[in-house]
């Protein structure tokens, strides 16, 4: 009878090589599918946040949540306390996290994958490495009192605030979006980060992170619309009621942003 023959070493190496080639072909597709799935989850969470804020406004005479700025310094002064302001309208704290960003800020080199943590408002130094969330509120949104901030230019600041979702062009007003900080006051004069993963406390830079690839983040607007936002588009959105009154041109894009698509349809 003929003896049974096993694999030769060459045949085994050929099989291993074929498996390796197939894995190399499939892994990018699998990662892309996972990224798309995370993106869907992120948008779903932002949709929930839109409903949270709209429901809050509906139950409070059509007004957004108040800002406690000026009532004393705490770790979330300056609109950073928004998760507590609307705590009665959501239950799961995991809703605060984009699935792409759960690593504590300051513990991971890729800024776009980082979540914000508790900090001392008197210092930009990170004081706690427990991640608390990865979406940032446009702090120009809120029913702020006229004496808000107790500043000489309080009137000029207050007139910039969006107090209600019932405004013309609400689909252009960002409410909440991917961010490495809980909140901020974007200004059209804010310059983009000079390089990727640059941690800066300049307000608009907090949102300028390539969290979902190809120069994009996800955001929800005050009408409840959820969509992709291009990083270059951040300078075109209506963060305040009188955004870019001077009709200033867009900033000079740093090298890492130059090839990103402008989702707003501009020519730069």
* Residue 4 clears pLDDT 70, i.e. is over it: no
Would you say residue 102 lies in a domain? Answer: yes
Would you say residue 114 lies in a domain? Answer: yes
Q: How many domains does the chain have?
A: 1
**Two tokens at 206?**
């907090």
Strand ranges of the sheet holding 126-133, from the earlier edge strand across to the other edge = 103-104, 114-119, 126-133
Would you say residue 262 lies in a domain? Answer: no
Would you say residue 13 lies in a domain? Answer: no
Count other C-beta atoms under 10 Å from residue 115's C-beta.
24
- The chain-wide mean pLDDT, for the chain, equals 82
Specify which residues 141 forms β-bridges with.
162
The answer to whether 131 and 117 are in contact (CB under 8 A) is: yes
Local structure of 217: helix, strand or coil? strand
Compute the distance between CA of residue 212 and CA of residue 228 in angstroms, rounded to an integer.
9
Compute the distance between CA of residue 241 and CA of residue 141 in angstroms, rounded to an integer.
10
Decide which of 168 and 13 is more confident: 168
Sign of the torsion angle spanned by Cα atoms 174, 177, 183, 185:
negative
Local structure of 106: helix, strand or coil? coil
What does pTM read for this prediction? 0.80
Would you say residue 122 lies in a domain? Answer: yes
Average pLDDT, stretch 111-117?
91
Would you say residue 248 lies in a domain? Answer: yes
Would you say residue 4 lies in a domain? Answer: no
Decide which of 86 and 262 is more confident: 86
Compute the distance between CA of residue 234 and CA of residue 174 in angstroms, rounded to an integer.
9
Which residue from 156, 150, 142, 132 is spatially nearest to 245, judged by alpha carbons? 156
H helices present in the chain, as ranges: 9-58, 82-85, 154-158
Would you say residue 268 lies in a domain? Answer: no
Most confident of the ranges 69-78, 101-110, 168-177: 168-177
Q: Give per-residue pLDDT as tens, 174-206.
A: 999 999 999 998 999 999 999 999 988 888 999
Strand ranges of the sheet holding 174-178, from the earlier edge strand across to the other edge = 183-184, 135-138, 174-178, 216-221, 226-230
Domain with 72, as residue range(s), is: 31-257
Local structure of 181: helix, strand or coil? coil
């Amino acid at each position: 009878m003929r003896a049974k023959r096993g694999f030769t070493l060459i045949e085994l190496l050929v099989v291993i090589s074929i498996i390796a080639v197939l894995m190399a072909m499939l892994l990018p597709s699998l990662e892309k599918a996972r990224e798309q799935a995370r993106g869907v989850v992120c948008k779903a969470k932002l949709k929930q946040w839109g409903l949270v804020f709209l429901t809050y406004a509906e139950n409070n005479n059509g007004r957004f949540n108040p800002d406690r700025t000026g009532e004393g310094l705490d770790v979330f002064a300056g609109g950073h306390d928004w998760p507590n302001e609307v705590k009665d309208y959501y239950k799961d704290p995991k809703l605060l996290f984009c699935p792409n960003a759960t690593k504590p800020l300051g513990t991971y080199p890729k800024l776009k994958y980082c979540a914000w943590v508790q900090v001392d408002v008197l210092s930009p130094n990170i004081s706690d490495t427990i991640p608390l969330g990865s979406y940032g509120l446009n702090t120009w949104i809120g029913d702020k009192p006229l004496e808000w901030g107790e500043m000489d230019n309080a009137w000029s600041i207050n007139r910039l605030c969006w107090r209600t979702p019932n405004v013309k062009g609400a689909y252009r007003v960002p409410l909440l979006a991917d961010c490495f900080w809980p909140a901020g006051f974007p200004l059209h004069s804010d310059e983009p980060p000079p390089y990727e993963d640059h941690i800066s406390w300049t307000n608009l830079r907090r949102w300028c992170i390539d969290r979902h690839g190809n120069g994009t983040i996800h955001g929800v607007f005050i009408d409840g619309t959820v969509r992709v936002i291009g990083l270059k588009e951040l300078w075109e959105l209506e963060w305040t009621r009188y955004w870019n009154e001077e009709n200033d041109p867009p900033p000079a894009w740093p090298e890492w942003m130059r090839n990103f698509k402008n989702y707003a349809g501009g020519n730069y």
